[in-house]
Amino acid sequence: MPKNPYHPVASTLKPTIVSRLDLLSRPSLALSMLSRSQKLLNVYARYVQKPCLAAVSNNWLARKTYTVNAIMAYKTPMGYRQRDVSLTHDGCTVSAAYCSRNTKPTNGTLLYIHGGGFIIGNLRGCRHVIAELAALSGQRGVYVDWRLAPEHPFPAGLDDAETAYMALLADPESGPITIAGDSAGGNLTLALLHRLLRKGVAPPAACVCFSPIVDLHLINPSLAENLKKDALVPMSWGQRGVDAYLSGQDPNNPEISPIFGSFKGAGPVLIQCDRHEVLYDDGCLMADKLRADGVEVTLTTTTALPHVWQYFVGRSPEADASVAEAAAFLKNAVAAAAELGKGAAQPKSA
């Protein structure tokens, strides 16, 4: 595929991409430093999850397989509570759920947007991440059941995320709102942030993105360089999901590829990604783009962890540490926004 002539920060990205080569020169050393539990989870990701993603092409079966995997691999925290709700704004309604870990929220609301290559994903797969993030940050966790491709290509998922956000924004009990998302959900998190800023709507106090996919041209070097190193994502599956979501639409659209978005005026953003992921460059490029727009960005990189390793929270110290960092980031951002009189509380305009 040819280079993308529209890349907004191409001149600033070469140092980021080149500098990582030294970090990848000794992958065996990085692997040896992982906890025993994470090593076992890496094996599970590589030899169970990745082959399943590559082999199962039927979307109905892929979604069922995803749920079975969630039951097997992910740990629901003690005291988990869930309340299913519907969120409505401007005549649109989306299914959602409040997720908690037997704690009382005191620090606003966290809207979580799950990933899954735009074609799979559900509450059973991410509820433990939401509950843990919410508990550690002191927020009320909210899951949004956004519509999946190929049945519902762009902009359905983004529209659902916007509906959920606007409904929460209109609720005085929400307090300051933050948004977090993983992989395709990280894409929707950043695309929603761009849309809100473009419309003049009060943006979230902060955003967290776990290994976001931000350029749906799929041309970044790590997509090929890390194809074998990535323990979870087969590119055939990633390409299928992107094609289903695009459904022939232009990936230069900033609501599709947020790397082309405008983020001036956004609150702080945390991006976590691993140097062995196929989406490593997406995370680094997005951090550069946000900084170029004057956004306060924290980019945390790890080595030898699978794509969205945060889903193993409760099962590995590496995942626990990353989720704890994200929760502390959200908590501090909400506190800083409250002190400055910022943070999403009421919309500036509909």
DSSP secondary structure letter of residue 348: S
DSSP secondary structure letter of residue 86: E
Complete DSSP assignment for 243-268: HHHHTT--TTSTTTSGGGS--TT---
Q: What is the pLDDT of residue 339?
A: 80
Q: What is the pLDDT of residue 30?
A: 67
pLDDT band at 81 (very low <50, low <70, confident <90, very high): very high
Give bridge partners of residue 82 from the DSSP assignment.
Answer: 99
pLDDT in tens, 199-237: 999 999 999 999 999 999 999 999 999 999 999 999 999
Q: What is the pLDDT of residue 179?
A: 99
Range in 1-5, 85-89, 322-326 the model is least confident about? 1-5
- Residue 24 within a domain: no
**241 Cα distance to chain centroid:** 15
Taking residues 105-123, report their average pLDDT. 96
Model confidence at 305: pLDDT above 60: yes
- Residue 22 within a domain: no
From CA 110, how far away is CA 66, in angstroms rounded? 24
Q: Residue 81: which CATH number? A: 3.40.50.1820
Q: Enumerate the active-site residues.
A: 183
Do 97 and 82 form a contact (C-beta atoms < 8 A)? yes
- Residue 57 within a domain: yes
Q: How many CA atoms lie within 13 A of 304 on its CB side?
A: 19
Give the global pTM.
0.90
pLDDT in tens, 27-57: 555 667 899 999 999 999 999 999 999 999 9
- Residue 19 within a domain: no
**Residue of 100, 98, 265, 112 whose CA lies nearest to 186:** 112
Q: What is the pLDDT of residue 302?
A: 96
What's the total number of domains in the chain?
1
Q: Which residue segment(s) compose the domain that 272 sits in?
A: 42-339
Q: What is the pLDDT of residue 340?
A: 79
- Residue 279 within a domain: yes
- Residue 348 within a domain: no
- Residue 191 within a domain: yes
Coil, helix or strand at residue 81: strand
- Residue 18 within a domain: no
Model confidence at 14: pLDDT above 70: no
Model confidence at 145: pLDDT above 90: yes
Taking residues 65-75, report their average pLDDT. 94
